[in-house]
Amino acid sequence: MKAIIGLGNPEVKYKITRHNTGFLIMDKILEAYQVSLVDKFNSFFAKKGDLLFLLPKTYMNLSGLAVAELAKFYKLSNKDILVIYDDATIEFGTFRLKKNGSFGGHNGIKSIIKCLGTDVFDRLKVGVGPVPNNIAIDSFVLSNFTNDELKGIETMGDCAIQLIDCWLKEGIEVAQNRFNKKIV
């Protein structure tokens, strides 16, 4: 089994914020896989064959609680997890697929590392930056995307579907070589 996890905040007021990039990208993925979400694991959850989809309802800072619950229930290896989330230090429209690493200042990833007890899990960092000099990073990631940026998110969602297919069939190294680049 493999799990695709998108990070975000569940309230409507956060729907089109930069910090909800994981949820926004997952919307396209869920549409492509034609799955409907149910309430399970303190998340929005879907299963199709051996593929699990999770959008934690725990809010960003406690995402690890839901991820750990899913991993324990399905006895997932950390290498079977792909987490999709925003990264304000990367230029908007850029993908960075990684096998592991520190939390890099992202509280959702910090929570997952803490709850899983390891930083070894695959992650797709989606660039939403750069942060303007006159704005605090917290304010920036909680601000809404512009209409043009939302169109870019649609394109990145389409590309993420291809990335996941590659990740599933050919592994992370091939997916990194193919998709670690500016998408829009």
Verify whether residue 19 is a known catalytic residue. yes
In this predicted model, what pLDDT tens digit does every residue of 57-101 receive, in sequence order?
999 999 999 999 999 999 999 999 999 999 999 999 999 999 999
- CA geometry: angle 91, 96, 98, nearest 5 deg: 150
Given the residues 2, 18, 19, 123, the one annotated as active site: 19
**C-alpha 4: how far from its chain's center?**
8
Q: What is the dihedral of CA 168, 172, 174, 176, to 10 degrees?
A: 130
pTM exceeding 0.85: yes
Band the pLDDT of 159: cuts 50, 70, 90: very high
Alpha helices per DSSP H over the chain: 21-33, 63-74, 107-116, 137-141, 147-170, 172-179
Residue ranges per structural domain of the chain: 2-179
Architecture of domain 2-179: 3-Layer(aba) Sandwich (3.40)
In this predicted model, what pLDDT tens digit does every residue of 95-120 receive, in sequence order?
999 999 999 999 999 999 999 999 99
